[in-house]
Structure formats: C-alpha cells, structure tokens
Amino acid sequence: MYEMRAGPASTGSSGFVWHVLVKNDARTTLCGRQLSPKAAPPEAACEEEATERYCLSCMTAFQETMSTTAH
C-alpha cells in the first residue's frame, strides 16, 4: 500500500500538496523529494489548501506504477 503525506510543492508553486511516498521509505516521495519524517506542515496550511492539492509528478509516477503492475 502506498501512503500520502503533505509536504512542500515540488513544482515551483507555493504551499503544501499531497505527495505519494515510496513503499518502505517514509521520507522519499515518488517525485524524488525528501520529506523529514518528523516534519509536518503547519496546521493552518493543511486546513487551507493541502487537502485538495496533489503533486502532479507523484500522481503521474503512481499511475505508471499501477499500470505496469496491473499487466
């Protein structure tokens, strides 16, 4: 199972987005960003925006992973 965690946007936009974590690695995202396992976005940032925004690079990598494992 893949996990998601809010972290800084990796595409130059500001704010936090949901990243997909690499299996068995609580720090590395599918887009290659390293997240601190103890760091969490500020509560206000999560309430305002992180629940609706996703890292496009992570989601694309996840889709490709699911496509190759389904065949």
pLDDT for position 21: 94
Q: What count of other Cβ atoms lies within 10 Å of the Cβ of residue 6?
A: 19
> What mean pLDDT comes out for the span 7-11?
78
Q: How confident is the model at residue 31 (pLDDT cuts 50, 70, 90)?
A: very high
pTM of the model: 0.73
DSSP 10-50: SSS--SEEEEEBPTT-SSBBTTS-B--SS----HHHIIIII
CA 3 to chain centre: 8
Residue 15 has pLDDT above 90, yes or no: no
Main-chain phi, psi angles of 48, to 5 degrees: -80, -40
- Judge contact between 63 and 28, C-beta under 8 A: no
Residue 43 has pLDDT above 60, yes or no: no
